[in-house]
Amino acid sequence: MLREISRETGIHLSSVKRIVHHDLNLRCFKKRRAHEITDANCQARLQRSRLLLRRFPQTAVDFIFFTDEKVFTVGLPVNTQNDRVYAPSSTKKHDIAPKRLLRCRPTFSKLLMVSVAVSKLGCTELFFPTFSKLLMVSVAVSKLGCTELFFVQPGVQVDGRYYREVLLKEQLLPVMRCIAGDTFVFQQDSAPAHRARDTIQLLQQETPAFISPDLWPPNSPDLNPVDYRIWGLMQQRLYKMPVRDTIST
């Protein structure tokens, strides 16, 4: 942020730092990433969490396999090091409004990339590009152990059928049985492929127990260790070196 101020104002960086820290006596707070939820989401999370605790007590948590999928891209994630908040040096972190310190990820994406070319002679149609340099990874973890990383072939659409026939039947479920036998609980979020009727029927037949879509709290990546911790660690390690294509990963 200070470098950006220096560039925009033409003031030397050391002078900007002196003004901020000594003249204005400001303290720097780094923003944290958070998932944006509505009041209705909060109420639903509370109700379902209570139901979840009744259905699966503390003694059952060790047997839950938490699953998730993540798309890794060739391009580096957005650098958030400069996404900071400055406040008077006497300010405590808990005194700052959460909205100022949290960088929320909306429930629904509000981004859409469009390409077009125009001239006085005319213009092209709008092109909505697709990105091929993506790699989707799937994994399941529990206190009993974890599966290997399963990689979805580039270009493959992970719809309900692929999720059931490949990710579940061929990859995740066989490894879970090898680790835990017939004593485990299968967890997934409420993605469309996960809550499809055929997927629910399959899980009823092929797992000892599973957390149904109407029981798992909505918009709750913070409840899944794969989502809130493991993917972040993998991303840090992955992007230490430049990634040029999905093969090099």
Domain ranges within the chain, ordered by starting residue: 36-75+133-249
Q: What is the SS3 assignment for 215?
A: coil
Please give the Cα distance from 177 to 168 (Å, whole number). 12
Q: How confident is the model at residue 118 (pLDDT cuts 50, 70, 90)?
A: low
Lookup: tokens for 109: 């994406």
Q: How confident is the model at residue 165 (pLDDT cuts 50, 70, 90)?
A: very high
Please give the Cα distance from 227 to 221 (Å, whole number). 6
Residue with structure tokens 């929320």? 104
Question: What's 136's DSSP letter?
Answer: E
Residue with structure tokens 């000594």? 22
Could you count the other beta carbons within 10 Å of the beta carbon of residue 128? 9
Question: What's 181's DSSP letter?
Answer: T
Asked whether 140 and 67 are in contact (CB, 8 A), the reply is: yes
The pLDDT assigned to 119 comes to 45
| Second CATH level (architecture) for the domain 36-75+133-249 | 2-Layer Sandwich (3.30)
First-residue to last-residue Cα distance in the chain: 32
64: nearest Cα among 147, 146, 178, 184: 184
Model pLDDT for residues 66-111, shown as the tens digit of each residue: 999 988 876 655 555 566 776 777 787 777 777 676 666 554 444 4
Q: How confident is the model at residue 41 (pLDDT cuts 50, 70, 90)?
A: confident
Please give the Cα distance from 15 to 12 (Å, whole number). 5
Please give the Cα distance from 143 to 146 (Å, whole number). 8
Q: Is the pTM of this model over 0.85?
A: no
Asked whether 145 and 175 are in contact (CB, 8 A), the reply is: no
Q: Which long-range contacts (C-beta less than 8 Å, at least 24 apart) are formed by 75-81? A: 75/133, 76/239, 76/242, 76/243, 77/235, 77/239, 80/31, 80/33, 81/30
Please give the Cα distance from 61 to 53 (Å, whole number). 10
Asked whether 148 and 175 are in contact (CB, 8 A), the reply is: yes
